[in-house]
Amino acid sequence: MAEPLDTNALLARVREIALALPEAAERLSHGAPGFHIEKCKFFAYFSHDLHGSGETAVVVKTSGAEEQAMLIEADPDCYYKPPYLGVSGWVAMRLAATDTDWDRVAERIAASWEMVAPRRLLEMGGR
């Protein structure tokens, strides 16, 4: 039997990863915690049970539909196409109580951050 999810602990872990990135901030977006660079676009969202899906995930940008499809095909137990943002190439990573690969989650969040970071942050060495 799967261990019950502690969504507060999962959100805390995602928050810690996202807010460690330069100029990252958090605010609610459509009722879900979203992470963005101050005065810039969002780079990650925490999603829990969206429309009764039963999924708890972090949703991040990819370079587009091709990368999104590649990730989902390579590891469908981890990645899936999320509602709404999926049509724009975003991908969701399932978060689990015990077997989440937090290094992989951190890498995907950081890569998503780089996609929205202004040039000045990237030129300063970014993350």
Q: How far from chain centre, in Å, is Cα 85? A: 11
Q: What gap in Å lies between CA 120 and CA 107, rounded to an integer?
A: 21
Could you read off the pLDDT of 91-105 as tens digits, one per residue? 999 998 678 999 999
Pairing mode of beta strands 32-37, 56-60: unpaired
Distant-in-sequence, close-in-space partners of 64: CB < 8 Å, separation ≥ 6: 89
Query: Is residue 121 one of the residues assigned to a domain?
Result: no
Q: The whole model's pTM is what?
A: 0.91
Residue 36 lies in a domain: yes
| Per-residue CA distances from 12 to 5, 18, 84 (Å) | 13, 10, 24
Output the domain CATH number for residue 12.
3.90.1150.30
Burial of 30 (0-12, 13-18, 19+ CB in 10 A): exposed
- Could you tell me the CA-to-CA distances from 23 to 26, 52, 98, 117 in Å, in that order? 10, 33, 30, 9
Q: Do 104 and 14 meet the contact criterion of CB atoms below 8 Å apart?
A: no
Q: Identify the pLDDT of residue 126.
A: 58
- Domain residues for the domain of 112 are 7-116
Is 19 a domain residue? Answer: yes
Q: Tell me how many domains the chain contains.
A: 1
On whether residue 126 sits in a domain, the answer given is no
Task: Give 50-105 pLDDT, tens digit per residue.
Answer: 888 889 999 999 999 999 999 999 999 999 999 899 999 999 999 986 789 999 99
Whether residue 1 lies inside any domain: the answer is: no
